[in-house]
Amino acid sequence: MRVVMMGTGTFAQPTFEALLTRPGLVVALITQPDRASGAQRSSTRLAGQGMKELASAANVPVFQPESINSPDGLELLRNLKADLLVVAAYGQILSRDVLAAATLGGINVHASLLPKYRGAAPIAWAIYHGETRTGVTIIRMSAGLDAGDILSQEAVDVLPDETAGELETRLAPIGAKLALETVERLQLGPVAGTPQDQSQVTKAPKLKKEDGLIDWTRSAEQICRHVRAMQPWPTAYTFLHRAAKLPVRIMIQKSKAVAREGPPASAGALTAFPKTMDRLFVEISDSREAVEVLRLQPSGKKSMTAAEFLRGHPVQPGDRFGPESM
């Protein structure tokens, strides 16, 4: 069998490594063109060791078309004479012509329990919406977005304080195992899949920078899930408003829900622990709880703990977090 691997970043890397353990199986790697930082490429994907470096070490040719669906991309794929495409976090939706360029079409390694969370950011949206279980699904690729028949699936628990990046790191090797098992089954003959239940479909659209903006009127649990879901990109953020000063963008990197102290205050109002002044709390709409900010990064500054932040920005009456325009 001639397999073409298509993928980018740390989620795809273990799948590529698993396929490379079978000598002669992978005939080419197709990966995204080189990009700069995660924020510039508008992606949740972490860089990892690098797909190109793995390919080079295994003497596998590497191709990086801007669009695999373009005439040039399609010609490239046809010339590779692939039997199967194995796709993991590639970052481009494949056309019917691209899928038809391989004898057996393609399989996709998707980081959710399909049909839930179809789309580019399933891990982040699963955490954001409070899922306690997620996993990896191998599907036979079709023209619809993540809509193909299920060939294999494995579930895991979402840990209470897990970020999207941490959960991706756990799911990636599971995807690699399932992908290799599926390829080996396909080598033996046709594999029957299970159609997805259309009534259970949910979406997980690509993240945008503005998805990181925190709404302090939500519950403490929802806000803390939001913070974890936006790590490592785009990172949850808010703006610090202080009297007679311009708003300052603040990235919130770690937080937890706590029982609130003192009289109720409006959502977004800041308080510091009254004795030591080294803990930072944000009021929310629920008078029983508050959000404690544990780690944050003001615009243009390094990441710091709440205690470090408060040493340079002691909380004053009227200080609050919120959108840029209030």
Minimal CA–CA distance to 26: which of 84, 73, 93? 84
pLDDT confidence of residue 260: 79
Q: pLDDT tens across 21-69, in order? A: 999 999 999 999 987 644 443 344 444 558 999 999 999 999 999 999 9
Tally Cβ neighbours within 10 Å of residue 197.
Answer: 11
Domains for the chain: give ranges and CATH numbers: 3-200 (3.40.50.170), 209-322 (3.10.25.10)
pLDDT confidence of residue 180: 98
Question: In the numeric block, which tokens belong to residue 42?
Answer: 């508008």
Instruction: Write the CB contacts of 244 (distance below 8 Å, at least 6 apart in sequence).
Output: none
On whether the CB atoms of residues 289 and 219 are closer than 8 A, the answer is yes
pLDDT confidence of residue 275: 58
Q: What is the mean pLDDT of each run of 10 residues along the chain (326 residues)?
A: 96 97 97 67 51 95 96 97 97 95 98 98 98 98 94 98 97 98 96 97 97 96 98 97 96 94 80 75 88 97 96 92 92
Q: Is the dihedral of CA 206, 18, 85, 51 positive or negative?
A: positive
pLDDT confidence of residue 44: 46
pLDDT confidence of residue 326: 78
Tally Cβ neighbours within 10 Å of residue 308.
Answer: 15
Q: Is the dihedral of CA 72, 75, 81, 85 positive or negative?
A: positive
On whether the CB atoms of residues 32 and 62 are closer than 8 A, the answer is no
- Looking at residue 233, what DSSP letter applies? T
pLDDT confidence of residue 36: 61
Minimal CA–CA distance to 140: which of 153, 128, 149? 149
Spatial distance between the Cα atoms of 205 and 255, rounded to a whole number of angstroms: 24
On whether the CB atoms of residues 271 and 321 are closer than 8 A, the answer is no
pLDDT confidence of residue 132: 98
Q: Is the dihedral of CA 97, 181, 9, 121 positive or negative?
A: positive
